[in-house]
Structure 1
Amino acid sequence: MVEANNTTVTLQVHRFTPRPERAERARGGSPFAKKSSPFGGGSDSAARRRPRGKQWVQEYTIPARPSDTVLDCLLTIKRTIDPTLAFRYSCGHGMCGSDAAAINGTPTLLCTATVRDWAKQPSTAPEVDDEGFRRTGDETANEPDVPAENVENNIPEGSLGVIELASLPGFPPQRDLIADIDPMLNQIRKLTPYLQADGVLVTTAEGKVDVFEYLQNPEQLAKYETLSNCIACGVCEGACPVYAGGDAFVGPAALIWASRFINDSRDTKAMDRMDAIDTADGVAGCQSVRACSRHCPRGIDVGEEMWQIVAKVRER
């Protein structure tokens, strides 16, 4: 069935333009200043600070179909309305993870989110009740519908609704929907995210390499296969209320990458890896909120895997 293209969607984009950096002073400055702090500051901390700049919300109303993705809508805006709108994407099929952002406040991938699933209609009930308390979904579920023409700022007929977009939470924005995920990638790198075998080649009686010595059975593969699907998109870190750039918590993404190799029977550094994450900002920083499990684009139950690695580290 071919969908009619006579509908529209409104995108409310939280935009951000950074303030131009000041040129470094040619001379002068304090003789007591230090480029780095012995307590963990320095350039990494400076990179995690939220940059200053202009912030505003801009609305775009464009033709769209329910099956269109949010990335499709942004590309339409970029190509036909506003070429200054900044967002990041690569494969466009949920495999690279480069287009992670917050849609209606929820971290997810722009290329896998459809208008049908994320467009929302305006609320017909007031935000707060007569006593000034915020209304909940249970309080408004049984209220009669109010005709669209009686709703203030109602969406026009033929509109699929409104989608609110912002950069990925937990990371400083670089421009519009582009977040600086370098803090997450640096945390992953610190945990040596690659296989570390003993390097000894087993040989047969004829002196040839015994390739069968390195095969894994299905049970060994199953322990880490799902974890190897992580694409480091940052969705789990954007959903985590504890993670905020890696200062107090290394983050679920880094721990998932560490767990992937800890559970690999071929890796010989499992104990060293567990020592590296057995710190105050490692597994001890996880509060078991399990918000990291929501909307993982690769289907990883991040919260469960976090619980498993925390238990393994504490029981070793």
Structure 2
Amino acid sequence: MVEANNTTVTLQVHRFTPRPERAERARGGSPFAKKSSPFGGGSDSAARRRPRGKQWVQEYTIPARPSDTVLDCLLTIKRTIDPTLAFRYSCGHGMCGSDAAAINGTPTLLCTATVRDWAKQPSTAPEVDDEGFRRTGDETANEPDVPAENNITEGSLGVIELASLPGFPPQRDLIADIDPMLNQIRKLTPYLQADGVLATTAEGKVDVFEYLQNPEQLAKYETLSNCIACGVCEGACPVYAGGDAFVGPAALIWASRFINDSRDTKAMDRMDAIDAADGVAGCQSVRACSRHCPRGIDVGEEMWQIVAKVRER
């Protein structure tokens, strides 16, 4: 079945242009600039601080098909309408995680979100009453429905609202600064740490089966190794704010991946590192992090598992 090509979609993009950085003072700048703060400070502070700049919402109405992805729509806008629109992407197939953003307020990947699934029709009832108060569902339940043709443009698939990934400072338009998350992951040494001893056989040869695992051992961390550090779980977490108050679900997932790896010899050290006020103690078990993981990880369940393992050790 061939889809009609005479339909359109409207993208409401929350845009942001940062204010130009002030020129550094002559003679080495401010004498106070290099002093570290007792509350975290360091190079991460600038990344966590929300930059100032111009913010506005811009609408684009373009031809689109229900099967088009939101990334397809943004590329059409950038190539034919507005080359200044900024967004990040790479593979375009949900494998790299670079194009994470908020679609209709929900963190997800632009390249896997289709117009069919995310376009919404405008509300048929006004949001406020004659006195300026916001209307509730009870107030509009008994009112007659307004015909849809009076509220939407013929041939329109609907409206999609786009914003940068929540929980991170925006850099420009839909590009968020995810360095705070990546720095948190790096702090937890996200790589295999073996004992460094080269195993040998009885004949004195190198034991090529030193790190051989059975299916049960592999299953303990295999799903966790699919994490692409896109930041969707962090953007959905109401506790994580891109700072030091909570290390975040992504960093804990990476720590859990190696804690559950039978080849790693630093499991206890890893659990000591996350057994802190800004580690597993910061997780409130809201489980919002599980809603839209593009790699199918039940982040909330894995968080519960690692919290239980740390407390029981």
TM-score if structure 2 supplies the norm length?
A: 0.94
Residues in 1 aligned to 2:141 and 2:255: alpha-carbon distance in whole angstroms: 44
Name which of structure 1's ranges 304-313 and 120-129 shifts more when overlaid on structure 2. 120-129
**How far is the alpha carbon of 1:213 from its aligned partner?**
3.1
- C-alpha spacing 1:30/1:279, structure 2 compared with 1 (3 Å): same
Partners of 1:310 and 1:137 lie apart in 2 by 39
| Shift, 1:140, TM fit | 5.7
| Shift in alpha-carbon separation, 1:4–1:229, aligned structure 2, 3 A | same
Q: Say if 1:256 and 1:142 are closer, same or farther in 2 by CA, change over 3 A.
A: farther
Aligned CA distance change for structure 1 residues 266 and 17 (closer, same or farther; 3 Å)? same
* Cα deviation digits, residues 246-301 of structure 1 (max 9, x gap): 22100000000000000000000000000000000000000111100011000000
Cα deviation digits, residues 11-33 of structure 1 (max 9, x gap):
00000000110101114976566
Shift of 1:209: 1.7
Deviations 1:182-230 (A, max 9, x none): 0000000000000001111221222222222321111111100000000
How many residues were matched structurally? 313
**Partners of 1:90 and 1:98 within 8 A in 2:** yes
**Comparing 165-174 and 132-141, the one that deviates more:** 132-141
Q: 1:32 to 1:237 in 2, by over 3 A?
A: closer
CA-to-aligned-CA distance 1:34-71 (integer Å, 9 cap, x gap) = 43223311321122111011100000000000000000
Percent identity, aligned pairs only? 99
Q: CA separation of 1:33/1:207 partners in 2, compared to 1, >3 Å: closer, same or farther?
A: closer
Higher mean alpha-carbon deviation, 23-32 vs 128-137, is at 128-137
Q: Quote the Cα distance in structure 2 between the aligned partners of 1:34 and 1:199.
A: 39
Q: Does the Cα contact within 8 Å between 1:36 and 1:43 map onto a contact in 2?
A: no
Measure the CA separation in 2 of the matches of 1:227 and 1:34.
Answer: 39
Rounded to whole Å, the distance in 2 between the matches of 1:143 and 1:264 is 59
Q: Is the 8 A contact 2:246 2:283 kept in 1?
A: yes
CA contact (8 A) 1:70 1:110 kept: yes
Asked whether the equivalents of residues 7 and 160 of structure 1 are also in contact (C-alpha less than 8 Å), the reply is yes
* 3-state SS of paired residue (1:85): coil
Q: Distance in 2 between matches of 1:302 and 1:211?
A: 34
Structure 2, gaps ≥5 residues long: none
Tell me the secondary structure at the aligned position of residue 138 of structure 1.
helix
Task: Report the Cα distance in structure 2 between the residues aligned to 1:157 and 1:19, rounded to whole angstroms.
Answer: 40
Q: How does 1:59-208 map to 2 (within 5 A)?
A: 59-128=59-128, 134=134, 144-148=144-148, 154-208=151-205
Write the deviation string for residues 159-189 of structure 1: whole angstroms up to 9, x where unpaired.
0000000000000000000000000000000
Structure 1 Cα separation of the partners of residues 193 and 5 of structure 2 = 53
Between the aligned partners of 1:216 and 1:135, the Cα distance in structure 2 is 60
CA contact 1:224–1:261 (8 Å) conserved in 2: yes
- Say if 1:272 and 1:72 are closer, same or farther in 2 by CA, change over 3 A: same
Q: State how far apart, in whole Å, the 2-side matches of 1:197 and 1:7 are.
A: 57
1:124–1:314 Cα change, 3 Å = same
Q: Does 1:245 align with 2:228?
A: no
CA 1:293–1:132: 2 relative to 1, 3 Å: farther
Per-residue deviation, residues 123-168 of structure 1 (Å, max 9, x unmatched): 11232568977556687678653113xxx99331000000000000
Structure 1 Cα separation of the partners of residues 23 and 30 of structure 2: 17
Matching residue within 241, 253, 276 for 2:273:
276
Residue equivalent to 1:265: 262
Q: Helix, strand or coil for the counterpart of 1:73?
A: helix
The answer to whether the 8 Å contact 2:40/2:244 transfers is no
Q: Note if contact 1:7-1:63 (Cα within 8 Å) is conserved in structure 2.
A: yes
Question: In 1, Cα distance between the equivalents of 2:37 and 2:153?
Answer: 56
Structure 1 window deviating more from structure 2 (61-70 vs 35-44): it is 35-44
Cα distance in 1, alignment partners of residues 98 and 140 from structure 2: 37
- When residues 227 and 29 of structure 1 are mapped into structure 2, their CA distance, relative to the original with a 3 A threshold, is closer
Q: Judge conservation of contact 2:14–2:174 (CA < 8 Å) in 1.
A: yes
Counterparts in 2 of 1:121 and 1:32: CA distance versus 1, 3 Å: closer
Match of 1:296 in 2: 293
Residue 212 and residue 34 in structure 1: after superposition, are their counterparts in 2 closer, same or farther (change >3 A)?
closer
